[in-house]
Structure 1
Amino acid sequence: MPSKTEVKQINNLADLEKAFAIRHEVFVLGQNCPAELERANEEESVHYLATVDDEPAGAARWRKTADGYKLERFAVLAKYRGFGVGQQLVKTVLAGLPADANYIYLNSQIPAVSLYEKFGFEKTGPEFTEAGIRHYKMVKK
């Protein structure tokens, strides 16, 4: 059982590479997402790294779009799932958004919908497929 989970905004290249490695394992290797799609929009994003007992465990990011603030790329390594790492990532990323972030949204994979609902996100629109994976657009109310 993990004893210490931390999530921090990334401010150095070493942690950014750890986040990219987690996302590669979860999305590219684990879900067959094309690498170029998974790594799109990196430069304009604010990145986060979750650690469990000082070991890299999860990653996420947000970016400002024409629509508002989009939360993306929430990934937790398989051995750290079920310990609240995903919840801590969502909580920290939401806290890191600018004060004027009034429209916050994301595209949730179907199994993660209940996680985001805990933070006030609601499904909007029909189910859709992105990179061969079923999603719902969700907006924070």
Structure 2
Amino acid sequence: MYVKRGQDEALWRDALFVRRAVFIDEQGVSEEEEIDAFEQQCVHFVVYDDEKPIAAGRFRTIDDVGKIERICVLPAYRGRGIGKLIMEAIEQYASQHVKKVKLNAQTHAEPFYKQLGYETVSDVFLDAGIPHVTMVKTIHMRS
């Protein structure tokens, strides 16, 4: 398994393949909410098993803070450390650009992000009808 990142059309389509399966098909998020106006501004990350996209996420910078979004792993690949793999790739990239990252985690995933060093900084709120919390982490910026 390996991670690719970029902003090209083919990588974005692979990311959307995973995001559709997880967020739209599995969790019932509408396509209008899932695919938003920020797609072209983001750096997309995709984990591949051979040539098959199996996990995805994206990164963008907002006011000197990195925003990690749309982290997802196909159901058949969960529990194998792939979520950690994609988060490490995103954080490594982020460390070249920002000192702090944040994300809005679904509440069921909050323990996963806490294990990676994230701290919850909000009360529970609904996003696409799903309970979330905002979490932050300071990372060591690399030049």
Q: TM-score scaled to structure 2, two decimals? A: 0.88
**TM-superposed deviation, 1:120:** 1.2
Mapping of residues 19-98 of structure 1, within 5 Å: 19-40=15-36, 41-66=38-63, 68-98=65-95
CA-to-partner distance for each residue in 1:46-99, whole Å, 9 max, x for gaps? 100001243210000011123621100001111111111101010000001153
Amino acid at match of 1:81: R
Instruction: Say whether residues 1:109 and 2:106 are aligned partners.
Output: yes
Q: Which runs of 4+ in 1 moved over 3 A?
A: none
Please give the alpha-carbon distance, in whole angstroms, between the structure 1 residues aligned to 2:95 and 2:82. Answer: 22
Equivalent residues, number: 137
Percentage of matched positions with identical amino acids: 32
Please give the alpha-carbon distance, in whole angstroms, between the structure 1 residues aligned to 2:40 and 2:7. Answer: 13
Unaligned runs of 5+ in 1: none
Structure 1 range deviating more: 8-17 or 50-59: 8-17
Please give the alpha-carbon distance, in whole angstroms, between the structure 2 residues aligned to 1:110 and 1:27. Answer: 15
Amino acid at match of 2:43: V
Contact 1:104 1:139 in 2 (8 A): yes
Please give the alpha-carbon distance, in whole angstroms, between the structure 1 residues aligned to 2:9 and 2:26. Answer: 24
